[in-house]
Structure 1
């Protein structure tokens, strides 16, 4: 892994587990807004289909992509 990273000029970043969310930049800046947007898209999908359709892989992709 280290050699792979060195060859590709990748600097691995390790964050301490169980740290406060302020130490987890991806949780704050990326995953939190993405989660909210996906949840909203999913709620709209369920409302549109009246909960009668199952969510298939293709549906997931489109909902996630739009989020």
Structure 2
């Protein structure tokens, strides 16, 4: 299962931008921990702030009839 992570960043001028990442952790708890580490590391190396963090589960069916 893959988790799609969206992070909305805010700069000093009030502008926002959103970046999306794929997280391949198998469990939601591991994905949350991984995303928390990613955000912490990013904030330590950037002068941007964050406004919002989203984690979504995306699944793909091999057979559309199964959906």
TM norm. shorter chain > 0.5? no
- Whose Rg is larger? 1
TM-score (norm 1): 0.34
Q: Pick 1 or 2: higher relative contact order, CA cutoff 8 A, min separation 6.
A: 2
